[in-house]
Amino acid sequence: MSKATRTDTKSTALHLADSHDLICVQGARVNNLKDISVEIPKRRLTVFTGVSGSGKSSLVFGTIAAESQRMINETFSAFVQGFMPTLARPDVDVLEGLTTTIIVDQERMGSNPRSTVGTATDANAMLRIVFSRLGQPHIGSPQAFSFNVASISGAGAVTVERAGRTVKERRSFSITGGMCPRCEGRGSVTDFDLSALYDDSKSLGDGALTIPGYSMDGWYGRIFSGSGFFDMDKPIRRYTKKERHDLLYKEPTKIKVGGINLTYEGLIPKIQKSMLSKEPESMQPHVRAFVERAITFTACPECLGTRLSAAARSSKIKGINIADACAMQISDLADWVRGLDGPSVGPLLASLGEALDSFVHIGLGYLSLERPSGTLSGGEAQRTKMIRHLGSSLTDVTYVFDEPTIGLHPHDIQRMNQLLLRLRDKGNTVLVVEHKPEAIAIAEHVVDLGPGAGTAGGEVVFEGTVEGLRASGTITGRHLDDRAALKPSVRTPSGVLEVRGASTHNLRDVDVDIPLGALVVLTGVAGSGKSSLIGGSVSGRDGVVSIDQGAIKGSRRSNPATYTGLLEPIRKAFAKANGVKAALFSANSEGACPTCNGAGVIYTDLAIMAGVATTCEECDGKRFQAEVLDYTFGGKDISEVLAMSVMEAGEFFSAGEAKTPAAHQILAHLADVGLGYLSLGQPLPTLSGGERQRLKLATHMAEKGSVYVLDEPTSGLHLADVEKLLGLLDRLVDSGKSVIVIEHHQAVMAHADWIIDLGPGPGHDGGRIVFEGTPADLVAGRSTVTGEHLAAYVGT
């Protein structure tokens, strides 16, 4: 049969399999969603908008993506599911038309010291194979170039059964790895400032140790005195060489004190195990302060920070070793790889070149493969995760993005839009949670949630096109065309913060005077050196309070009241009013319900099935013992106070018999950042990204500092909330503070008193000051990329 005949006989009717072109959600009630129903077109780009906390993430991530992942997990055997995270079915009546979902979120990459951009994207794995094939001299397999593999060798006798006889043979083995033996592949070594560990003019008995928790009144005192290694009454400066070694470095040694078997270990290995193995963010503040004071991290003198052994660095291709290649800017490395030629690794070089080109296309060409993944910003981490999917041949996949424009200069947003459209054009469904008008503009379908945040949100207030949204009366529709105007006059600085010779990362010996007593905005394309300038030359100074984009850490027991320290004055007020201990008013301490241990719910583990959480019948979900709830303050018990919103609690603690100034001040900070609707006892994991960042901002506002540094405070903020943020920044400056903001949002730039623009490009194309002056001068000159975009924004 000819091709023409086949075409003629093809049916023109729609095949039943092609009719499933919608993702249907009916009766969604996850978090604050109010039984909502939506229909999302497949193979199109849909943007979800609404104020922070309106329910966007609950619908997209908590409902659609969660159910897709749960159903895929159920296709595996029960044995395999036992090793996978168990996911509960979202609270929704009907979900139809789901496809495989890939989530590309803003979660920071793990801060494991051995994780780099290269290892996280598999670029390092391909580069190692290239060097093992083409590198001269040849030193071994790909693992000989891996800083995660140590070189090991050994020999000994083995027993082998052969022909009915037992034969002993000598065997030897060796593994050639690329790990630097000195720093064990970390690239840095720790050095201890011994004066921060102890006061050598005192004896151990007099409390010479200044390490948090090392009191001589507890177990440590019994271990030191019972070990017999030193005289407890002799000042440390008079110790012999052996005594000093035993105090600092002695390996774990079994001792018996008062008939109890204990282990003594030197201070430094003990600190390395107990403190240095943890992430700094998870430490208690006083422990973190001690670590920062007592321990310095310096580049390993043996590998010079490359993490690799001398053998791995000796093998080269065209005069470049693998450490040099990983240190190159990725855009330069891509050019170098294209210049390589080897028939045996032709396909591999092509794949590696495509992966490196993807970094450049996505706007991350300024990174290097050796960059620790934990140092990437949320936006950089999200775009790094995208690289895996850009070259994928999969179609009919649902990609879910959480504010992909975060951390992007207006110049780069257009490139991100093109990437999203590219994924859609391959036949995929693209769902994007977004606030930026430039990103909303490319949507083919818009779902707007609201009308407010928290309990005031959770409803679909608009579905349709961008033009329809613009004409609607929703908050997003009304603010979509908002444009902040340039200020008619700017503040006169009260002084300057001098930065001289800044050379961190890509900065090129930068000298700049940052005005004080004003609102200063640092801007420039992603990778131009903004964070390097602030982190390397400003943040560590006295009186500087830095508020970065680091994630808030907290379990389901944590809530706004515990995170901000608000619960402390409230507990003390309850205790004083009732003549009892403050610990009774903590659900994590003596006042906790004994049945649920203060969780409010009882969790039942069902192995491979998702666990079940049921409200505790003993305390009815209130988390406290019944007798604790008999104590009141201002006519309210502690559970009723935690159920209040920030605004209600602000009024409650401001006057009358419940007046508590310390609590009211913290509540005022929470209201200032637009979190007046939050419940004091709402678990932290249920807060949206924008809410968590503002919670962090409110907490830092209570710190005593004269200079505030904010890293992209508009992240996660709705257009309507940006205006509130500008008002907050103005109030901070008017109260006598100096505010420095790293920001890409044009509304914040237009509102600034002074702009410092870095560039002109990213990586080694940046690192210079390309403009200093008022926003009006920047717009008038249009001498930089930022100036052009700001001029277009304000309409001049």
pLDDT above 70 coverage of the chain, percent? 95
pLDDT above 90 coverage of the chain, percent? 52
- Whether 392 shows a pLDDT value over 60: the answer reads yes
Q: How far apart are CA 389 and CA 358, in angstroms?
A: 10
Contact 529, 505 (CB under 8 A): yes
Q: What is the pLDDT of residue 312?
A: 96
- Please provide the DSSP assignment of 554-577 as one string: --TT--HHHHTTTHHHHHHHHHHH
Flag the least confident range among 284-298, 428-442, 592-606. Answer: 284-298
Give the tokens for residue 140.
């071994």
Q: How far apart are CA 566 and CA 393, in angstroms?
A: 51
Nearest to 389 by CA among 125, 64, 109, 102: 102
Nearest to 754 by CA among 739, 736, 732: 739
Question: For 587-607, how does the pLDDT look when each residue is reduced to its tens digit (9 = 90+)?
Answer: 988 999 999 999 888 887 766
CB burial of residue 557 (10 Å; 0-12, 13-18, 19+):
middle
Nearest to 677 by CA among 393, 346, 455, 414: 455
- Please provide the DSSP assignment of 152-183 as one string: EEEEEEEEEEETTEEEEEEEEEEE---B-TTT
Mean pLDDT along residues 120-138: 94
Give the tokens for residue 386.
């995208």
Q: What is the pLDDT of residue 540?
A: 78
Q: How far apart are CA 193 and CA 212, in angstroms?
A: 15
Q: What is the pLDDT of residue 606?
A: 67
Q: What is the CA radius of gyration of the chain?
A: 30
- Whether 41 shows a pLDDT value over 70: the answer reads yes
Question: For 299-341, how does the pLDDT look when each residue is reduced to its tens digit (9 = 90+)?
Answer: 899 999 999 999 999 999 999 999 999 999 999 999 999 999 8
- Whether 188 shows a pLDDT value over 80: the answer reads yes
389-407: b or e for each residue (b if 16 or more CB lie within 10 Å)?
bbeeeeeebbbbbbbbbbb
Q: Which uninterrupted H or E stretch holds 418?
A: helix 410-425
Mean of per-residue pLDDT scores for the chain: 89
- Whether 6 shows a pLDDT value over 50: the answer reads no
The residue that leads in pLDDT, 386 or 770, is 770
Q: How far apart are CA 311 and CA 333, in angstroms?
A: 22
DSSP letter for 628, please.
Answer: G
Mean pLDDT along residues 205-225: 83
CB burial of residue 573 (10 Å; 0-12, 13-18, 19+):
buried
Residue 26: beta bridge partners? 94
Mean pLDDT along residues 776-788: 94
The residue that leads in pLDDT, 280 or 260, is 260
Question: For 605-624, how does the pLDDT look when each residue is reduced to its tens digit (9 = 90+)?
Answer: 766 666 777 889 999 989 99
- Whether 183 shows a pLDDT value over 70: the answer reads yes
Q: What is the pLDDT of residue 258?
A: 78
Contact 211, 179 (CB under 8 A): no
- Say whether 446 sits in a helix, a strand or coil: strand
pLDDT band for 343, please (50, 70, 90 cuts): confident
Q: What is the pLDDT of residue 408?
A: 85
Nearest to 425 by CA among 48, 46, 98, 43: 43
Q: How far apart are CA 756 and CA 327, in angstroms?
A: 28
Q: What is the pLDDT of residue 111?
A: 64
Give the tokens for residue 411.
């110049």
- Say whether 254 sits in a helix, a strand or coil: strand
Q: CB-based contacts of 65: which residues, under 8 Å, 6+ apart? A: 101, 103, 398, 400
- The set of long-range contacts for 319-327, using a CB threshold of 8 Å and a minimum separation of 24, is 321/131, 321/135, 322/127, 322/128, 322/131, 322/135, 322/145, 322/178, 323/370, 325/127, 325/131, 325/369, 326/116, 326/118, 326/124, 326/127, 326/368, 326/369, 326/370, 327/368, 327/370
Nearest to 89 by CA among 613, 679, 748: 613
Question: For 44-65, how does the pLDDT look when each residue is reduced to its tens digit (9 = 90+)?
Answer: 999 999 998 899 999 999 999 9
Q: How far apart are CA 713 and CA 710, in angstroms?
A: 6
SS3 content of the chain, % helix, strand, coil (to 5): 40, 20, 40
Greatest CA separation for the chain? 103
Give the tokens for residue 553.
């850490």
- Please provide the DSSP assignment of 17-76 as one string: GGG--EEEEEEE-STT--SEEEEEETTSEEEEE-STTSSHHHHIIIIIIHHHHHHHHTTS
- Whether 169 shows a pLDDT value over 50: the answer reads yes
Contact 267, 255 (CB under 8 A): no
The CA distances from residue 136 to 41, 52, 317, in Å, are 55, 56, 7
How remote is the C-alpha of 661 from its chain's centroid? 34
Nearest to 262 by CA among 223, 204, 228: 223
Question: For 83-123, how does the pLDDT look when each residue is reduced to its tens digit (9 = 90+)?
Answer: 877 778 899 999 999 999 999 877 767 667 788 999 988 89
Flag the least confident range among 295-309, 409-423, 439-453, 598-612. Answer: 598-612
Mean pLDDT along residues 257-262: 82
Amino acid present at 729: L
Question: For 680-697, how does the pLDDT look when each residue is reduced to its tens digit (9 = 90+)?
Answer: 999 888 887 778 878 888
Q: What is the pLDDT of residue 7?
A: 44
Give the number of other CB atoms < 10 A from CB of residue 699.
20
pLDDT band for 433, please (50, 70, 90 cuts): very high
Flag the least confident range among 367-381, 404-418, 605-619. Answer: 605-619
Q: Which uninterrupted H or E stretch holds 768?
A: strand 768-773
